[in-house]
Every structure is written in structure tokens, then in C-alpha cells.
């Protein structure tokens, strides 16, 4: 019997656990390690952040779901990996520290035959002084708890607006190297929507603040979509949405510091600016969770296994080269680590070989460009591919059998722009592939027959339907495995 250890129970980790439990759970041991007691459908946190959903609507208890399967769930955080074992143990192992209240602080070594690193990101609020809800002056929708606090503060803003006062709301990214503009993109439109529903939109100034070079970049180097028979740039698409709603925007910005009521930022031309606010929701940059790695002799090999940002190296081409020489072929396919055939990294935990958007620096040398997105649909796709490879390797395959390159897969995004059964809208967009391939598609880097976008009420219904579908699937209800990931 082999033991498969999965670090993390987010979209990618839980997807791998679900399928491995179905395929090999009766013959092999599956251990899931996560510091969180609850699973969170993060795409719907934006609705929690405007009071349209509760925390219970977007979370469920992991132990309860795994208790109905063969999965052994450990509420703990991973500390380090010993992929070669140690002088005392020939078997490779991961060291975890329990976060379960009854065992808090207790450490344990868990041996493994296969390891999937799906830890997701560290929300690196500390990269920007004054950023974040715990020790800063801004709110977040990155977790359900953060979103609850965001809504509480938003409702106070609405009360002030109803009283006839004016307020400035700033939403976007809180650092020059942020990713996940999509969450802020959805949130700003939902805030606009609830202010209109409350009849106070005319008293509020809403400002989008982003590290994107142009609106609609999304860390994917911008997009072109087919809409109404015409090709439209993501810039035009995003700008039109903001103009229609009276939202201002600031792009090419790196937030340097946040004080109470004031954001200090730098833009690409090297100039420095300030933006006052009464309410600010700024997404933090992501980093690896800080896992260490040691060889059999106990020597630190973290730099061999991870990049300096803490994300794990996989089967990508990390050779430094000029932007013009980057290629879609640089991107990983199997997510297997180079040195250890039994270790994989999926979702945000794997290290991208390079940016997708063009790297840029301000006149002062400050990097200001979005990092590559690799959440949601791509995370699930790569997790399922790795689960299939491990299943086949357990059955005798000598190497991974399935691939899920972001340069060979498409992604669909349904971005809410207002939650209401009759008046809600959502922007529905698909791109293929996620990482542009200018050798195959010289004009735009993507297949324009498969890259398109629309906005309307039907998109909102689709977003709402997908919310319930994916929660049903994640809870492993009857028939879950026939539903799309």
C-alpha cells in the first residue's frame, strides 16, 4: 500500500484528493494536510464582501466531507519536506504542525510515497506597509472571514452615504507584483451594484487602482475577444464597463504604503502620488507559504526545490532569457519536480517559468507588472492531470501519463458585475490558450474562435448556477465526478 500526501485543500488540492479517493482510495492511503478546517469556494467571496452571501454559503467543513471517504484529513500546516528521508528514516517525509485546537503546535513527520504540493499562496500583505485587514488599513476578499469584514465596513460606508455624506472607495491591487486582478475586478462592480441598489451611488466616488499596464491585462498580457462578430481588446472591453458605471481608474501603479485614509503609490514613469480613501479593498501579492526542504544529511536544499519567491520548481524551463525569447513551450506540462519523480506541485504552489504580461520597471527600478494567474479552472485541470498520473504510476507507469499545460488549455471566467436575479450581470469570457502561443496563433497569441466574451443577465445566472454546481461537486455529493471541474 502506498501513501499519497496532499498539502493543501483548496481548489487544486481538494480536486486531487477527490479523484484519488475515487480511483485508488480502496487500495492506497490518501492523507490531506491543510491548516484550515473549512473549504472555501473563493470565487464567491466577492458576494460575501457585499452582503449578498454568508460565510456558510461559500464554505463547508473538510473533516465532515473527508470523513465519508477514505481520505485521512489532518488539520495542520506543512513546515518542511525531506524528499530523500533522513539519517533516521529511509522514507521521504513531510513535517507538519497541527493547527487543530486540541493538538495545536504539535509536530509530526508524515512519510509519503507520492507528494502533491497544493498549498496555494501566502497572502503577502507584509510586502506593502499598511496593507491588509490584520495589521493595515485595507480590507480583503481573499478569505471568507476577510470578506465578512469587508462587507461590515462597506455597510458602514453605505450608512454614511445615506446620511448625505460623500465617500471615496478604492479597489484593486496593493502591490506592483500582484496577481488575481479578477477578484478585485468582480468586487468593484458588485460594490457599484449594491450602492446603486441602496440609492447612494451618486454620493460615492469609486476608483480602480491596478498594477496592470492597461485595463483588461489580468496578468495574461492582455486579451482580444470576439464579440458581436468583431475583435475587441480587453482594454476596450474593461474601459467600457468602467465608463458605463462612472468608475475612475489608475493603472501602472505600485502601492508603496497605506496609511489610514491615504494610499501612497508610484507609477511607471517614476512619479509618486497619493490617493485618499474612506474604504479600500486591495488584493495582496502572493508568495509561497515558506516550506523548507532538506536532504538526507539534513542540509538545507530549499533553493534547489523552490524559487526565491517560495513556489516549487516543476518541469518548466526556468532558463533566464529576454522577454522576446520567452515561449509557450517554457510552461510545465506534468508538474513533476525535476529531482524527485514522486513530488508534484499544482495550482498557485508551482513556480511559473516567467511572467505572461511583459515585465516592466518604473523609472526608479520598481517592478510594476501583474504576475501570472493560475487559479480556478487551470488549478483544477492540473490537479486532475496529476491525480491521473499518480494513479497510473501506482499501476506501473514509469513517468507521468497526463499533462495540463497552461499553454495548451483554455479557461472560462464568469466575472460577476452585480448580483441580482433580474438586474444582475456578469462578464463571461473564455481564452484559449491561457498562456499565449504566438507561434501557433501569430495575430493575437490565441485561437480567436475559442476566445470570446459577452456581458449580461444570462452570465449572472450562469455564475450563480456554477456556484452551486461546484459546491455540490466539492462536497462529493452523488454523481459529483460526472460534473465538469
Residues near 291 by beta carbon (within 8 Å), at least 6 away in sequence: 7, 78, 79, 80, 81, 117, 119, 302, 306, 310, 312
Which is more confidently placed, 179 or 145? 145
Domain ranges of the chain: 3-123+286-394
pLDDT over 90 (residue 429): no
Q: Supply the DSSP string of 38-52, one letter for each residue.
A: EEE-GGGHHHHTTTS
How confident is the prediction for the chain on average, in pLDDT? Answer: 95
Mode of pairing for the β-strands spanning 3-7 and 114-117:
parallel
Q: How far apart are the C-alpha atoms of 185 and 229, rounded to whole Å?
A: 25
- CA-to-CA distance for 120 and 14, rounded, in angstroms? 11
* Residue 272 φ/ψ region, left for φ over 0, alpha for ψ in the -120 to 50 degree band, beta for the rest: beta
Q: What is the pLDDT of residues 223-259, one digit of tens each?
A: 888 777 778 888 998 999 999 999 999 999 999 999 9
Give the integer Cα–Cα distance in Å for 380 and 399. Answer: 21
**DSSP-derived secondary structure for 186-237:** HHHHHHHHHHHHTT-GGGEEEEEE-S-SSTT-TTTT--EEEETTEEEEHHHH
Q: Which helix (H) or strand (E) holds 5?
A: strand 3-7
- Distance from C-alpha of 13 to C-alpha of 345, rounded to nearest angstrom: 10
The mean pLDDT of 32-57, rounded to a whole number, is 97
So what's the pLDDT on residue 223? 86
pLDDT number for residue 94: 98
Q: Return the ∠ at Cα 459 (arms to 456 and 461), rounded to 5°.
A: 115
**C-alpha–C-alpha distance, residues 287 and 308, integer Å:** 9
* pLDDT, tens digit (0-9, with 9 covering 90-100), for 352-370: 999 999 999 999 999 999 9
Q: What is the pTM of this model?
A: 0.96
Give residue 401's pLDDT band: very low, low, confident or very high (50, 70, 90).
Answer: very high
pLDDT for 165 equals 98
Would you state the pLDDT for residue 127?
Answer: 97
Using alpha carbons, list the distances in angstroms from residue 21 to 25, 101, 135, 473.
4, 26, 39, 14
CB 311 within 8 A of CB 339: no
Q: What is the pLDDT of residues 265-296, one digit of tens each?
A: 999 999 999 999 999 999 999 999 999 999 99
Rounded Cα distance, 199 and 202, in Å = 8
* pLDDT class of 110 with cuts at 50, 70, 90: very high
Can you tell me the distance from the alpha carbon of 149 to that of 349, in angstroms, rounded to the nearest whole number?
27
253 vs 317: CA distance, rounded Å: 29
- Top CATH class of 3-123+286-394 equals alpha beta
Cell numbers 532538506 correspond to 294
The confidence score (pLDDT) of residue 228 equals: 73
**What does each C-alpha distance from 121 to 10, 213, 360, 375 come to in angstroms?**
10, 24, 23, 10
- Taking residues 115-126, report their average pLDDT: 97
* Band (24; pLDDT cuts 50, 70, 90): very high
152 grid coordinates: 461590515
Amino acid at each position: 500500500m502506498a501513501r499519497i500526501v496532499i498539502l493543501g485543500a483548496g481548489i487544486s488540492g481538494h480536486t486531487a484528493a477527490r479523484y484519488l479517493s475515487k480511483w485508488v482510495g480502496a487500495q492506497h492511503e490518501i492523507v490531506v494536510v491543510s491548516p484550515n478546517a473549512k473549504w472555501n469556494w473563493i470565487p464567491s467571496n466577492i458576494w460575501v464582501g457585499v452582503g449578498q452571501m454568508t460565510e456558510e454559503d461559500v464554505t463547508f467543513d473538510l473533516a465532515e466531507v473527508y470523513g465519508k471517504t477514505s481520505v485521512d484529513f489532518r488539520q495542520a500546516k506543512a513546515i518542511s519536506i525531506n524528499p530523500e528521508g533522513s539519517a533516521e528514516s529511509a522514507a521521504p517525509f513531510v513535517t507538519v504542525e497541527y493547527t487543530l485546537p486540541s493538538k495545536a503546535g504539535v509536530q509530526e513527520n508524515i512519510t509519503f510515497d507520492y507528494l502533491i504540493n497544493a498549498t496555494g499562496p501566502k497572502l503577502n500583505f507584509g510586502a506593502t506597509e499598511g496593507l491588509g485587514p490584520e495589521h493595515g488599513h485595507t480590507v480583503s476578499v481573499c478569505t471568507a472571514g476577510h470578506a465578512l469584514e469587508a462587507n461590515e465596513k462597506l455597510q458602514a460606508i453605505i450608512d454614511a452615504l445615506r446620511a448625505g455624506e460623500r465617500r471615496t472607495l478604492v479597489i484593486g491591487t496593493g502591490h506592483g507584483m500582484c496577481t488575481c486582478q479578477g477578484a478585485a475586478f468582480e468586487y468593484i462592480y458588485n460594490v457599484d451594484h449594491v450602492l446603486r441598489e441602496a440609492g447612494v451611488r451618486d454620493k460615492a466616488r469609486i476608483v480602480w487602482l491596478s498594477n496592470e499596464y492597461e485595463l483588461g491585462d489580468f496578468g495574461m498580457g492582455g486579451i482580444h475577444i470576439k464579440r458581436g462578430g468583431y475583435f475587441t481588446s480587453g482594454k476596450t472591453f474593461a474601459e467600457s464597463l468602467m465608463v458605463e458605471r462612472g468608475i475612475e481608474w489608475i493603472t501602472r501603479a505600485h502601492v508603496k504604503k497605506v496609511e489610514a485614509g491615504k494610499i501612497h503609490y508610484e507609477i511607471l514613469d517614476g512619479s509618486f502620488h497619493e490617493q485618499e480613501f474612506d474604504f479600500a479593498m486591495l488584493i495582496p501579492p502572493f508568495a509561497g507559504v515558506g516550506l523548507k526542504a532538506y536532504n538526507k544529511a539534513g542540509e538545507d536544499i530549499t533553493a534547489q526545490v523552490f524559487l526565491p519567491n517560495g513556489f516549487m520548481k516543476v518541469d518548466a524551463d526556468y532558463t533566464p532569457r529576454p522577454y522576446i525569447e520567452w515561449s509557450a513551450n517554457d510552461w510545465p506540462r506534468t508538474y513533476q519536480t525535476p529531482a524527485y519523480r514522486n513530488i508534484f506541485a499544482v495550482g498557485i504552489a508551482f513556480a511559473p517559468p516567467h511572467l505572461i504580461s511583459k515585465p516592466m520597471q518604473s523609472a526608479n527600478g520598481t517592478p510594476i507588472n501583474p504576475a501570472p494567474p493560475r487559479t480556478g479552472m487551470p488549478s483544477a485541470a492540473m490537479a486532475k492531470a496529476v491525480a491521473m498520473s499518480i494513479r497510473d504510476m501506482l499501476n506501473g507507469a514509469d513517468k507521468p501519463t497526463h499533462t495540463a499545460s497552461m499553454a495548451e488549455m483554455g479557461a472560462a471566467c464568469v466575472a460577476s458585475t452585480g448580483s441580482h436575479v433580474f438586474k444582475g450581470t456578469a462578464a463571461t469570457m473564455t481564452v484559449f490558450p491561457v498562456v499565449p502561443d504566438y507561434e501557433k496563433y501569430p495575430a493575437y497569441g490565441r485561437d480567436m474562435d475559442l476566445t470570446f466574451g459577452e456581458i449580461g443577465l444570462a452570465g449572472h445566472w450562469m455564475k450563480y448556477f456554477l456556484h452551486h454546481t461546484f459546491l455540490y461537486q466539492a462536497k462529493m455529493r452523488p454523481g459529483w465526478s460526472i460534473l465538469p471541474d
